[in-house]
Structures are given as C-alpha cells and as structure tokens.
Amino acid sequence: MDLKRVLAAGLTAAILSTTPALAAGCGNGAPGFPGWLAQFKAEAPRYGLKPRVVESALSGVSYDSKVIRLDRSQHSFKLSFEQFYAKRVNNAMIKRGQQLRQSYAGVFRRIEQRYGVPAPILLSIWGLETNYGGFSGNMPVLRSLATLAYDCRRSRFFTEELVAALMIVQRGDMRPSEMRGAWAGEIGQTQFLATNYVKYAVDFDRDGRRDLIRSSADALASTANYLKAHGWRAGQGWGPGTANHNVLKQWNKATVYQKTIAVMASKIAQ
C-alpha cells in the first residue's frame, strides 16, 4: 500500500468515527432543506472533505419526496421465508448463476484464494441484490442521501452515509454523475452502503478505481472482502447454525434474506 492510500485510509477512519457529531440539524418536509444543505456544506470540510468537492458534488441537489415515501413503505421483510423466496428467486436465476460461475471462473477462483469466500455465496448475493448487475438502481445517490440525512427519522445514520459518499467522490473512485443507485443510496452491483464502500471496496481489476457499479470483479471481490472482515471462515458451510451463516446476518439483518442467500447459494452450487 503506498503512502497516499495509507493517508486516505487514516482519513476515512477519522471521518467515519466523527461523522455522528456532524450537527446540521434535521427537518421534516421540503421547506427547510435548502438551509440544512447550506449548513451541511459549511460543516462538512471539518471531516476531511474539501470545500470544492462538497460544493461541486452537492450543487443542484434538492429534496426528494419520493425517497421519503419509499422510506416509509418497506414491507418485503414482513413476508415469510417461503413467500420472500418465491418472490425473489426462480429457476432461471439459479441457472444464470450457474452459468456465471463458469464464465467468471477465473475471477471467482482468485477471489476465493484471497478472501476465502466461495463463488455460490457471491453469486447468490449478486443475483438477489441486482439480478447479477442487471439493475443497480437509477436514482442519484447524493440526492437520496442528502434527503435522508436531512429527514429526522434516521438523520445521524444517513449523515454518515452522505459524508462517506462524498469521500468516494473525493478519492476519485466515481464522479457524482456516475453515482446512481437504490433509493436509500446503496451503490453498485451488490448494493453497498457508502460507508461500507469506503471501508471495504477494492480495486480487484486494477484499473485504478474502486468501481462497484461498472466492474463486476471489483463488486464481487469487495463483497468477499466485506464478508471476510466480518468473520467468514474459508472452507466451511453456510447453512443455519454455522459461523458463516452468522456472517450473512451482517450483510442483511432480515432473517428471510439471510436464509434466501444460503438456500440460493446451495442451489447454485449443485
């Protein structure tokens, strides 16, 4: 790791440890958003963000009422496992995962050698999150995160995410216009939160950028890096009751999602 990356890693750690103290307040409804955004811009440089980066990245960002509606209407995880699995997985997805396991065999082999995470688990997550990179979202990440950071319901959490997203821009991994994702700001082919992007994204294809949107290799290796960091045990199973199944709980808190990852991965492995 060169000096530049060492310094960047230290700066990232400092940002993520101090962001909760970022005190731009919060609000409910569009009228207060411009004032909040101006205050955020003024305070964000205290956390290692360059004023020109913040101003440029957040120029023209506005309140998005659609994001708030979506935040208030999440129902999928109230389904039973059988209902959730039937809604999210089908035989075509399993077959596609098996095909991709062959076509990306070299990438998966190198990833498993480095991180210990096998292809079926990564394929299952990849398929569930974005249909193997087919659709990773088209909403402007910075607009979504700014809206949610301003909103009082989870302001502190999303303020951290907004600061991390701006760090992604600052370190040159993506331009603001490239950062399009899910309504809550998840980014890339396996839907990383911005804080996890900063901490775990890797440049596996060695093109100089950690690009989890356009590089499948970066996205898959970054996912493996995340799982390894959370305790994945190489060479072991992932069914309920195993240490690796507990790691899946760190990927997604919903029990139905964890079980779906495990079951889908086992079918892909056949």
The DSSP H or E segment spanning 166 is helix 155-170
DSSP string, 200-254: H---TT-SSS--TTT-HHHHHHHHHHHHHHTT--TT---STTSHHHHHHHHH-S-
Active site residue 186: no
> 55: which residues sit within 8 A by CB, 6+ positions away?
41
- 37/24 Cα distance (integer angstroms): 8
Q: How far is CA 138 from CA 52, 86, 89, 182, in A?
A: 25, 25, 22, 7
Please, is 209 exposed, middle or buried when counting C-beta atoms within 10 Å of its C-beta (0-12, 13-18, 19+)? middle
DSSP E strand stretches across the chain? 139-140, 180-181
104: its two tokens = 């990306």
Following CA atoms 34, 37, 38, 42 in sequence, which dihedral angle do they give, to the nearest 10 degrees? 170
205: its two tokens = 């294809």
Q: How far is CA 100 from CA 106, 107, 108, in A?
A: 11, 11, 10
**Beta strand 180-181 pairing with 139-140:** antiparallel
Catalytic residue among 129, 160, 161, 186: 129
Q: Which residues are catalytic?
A: 129
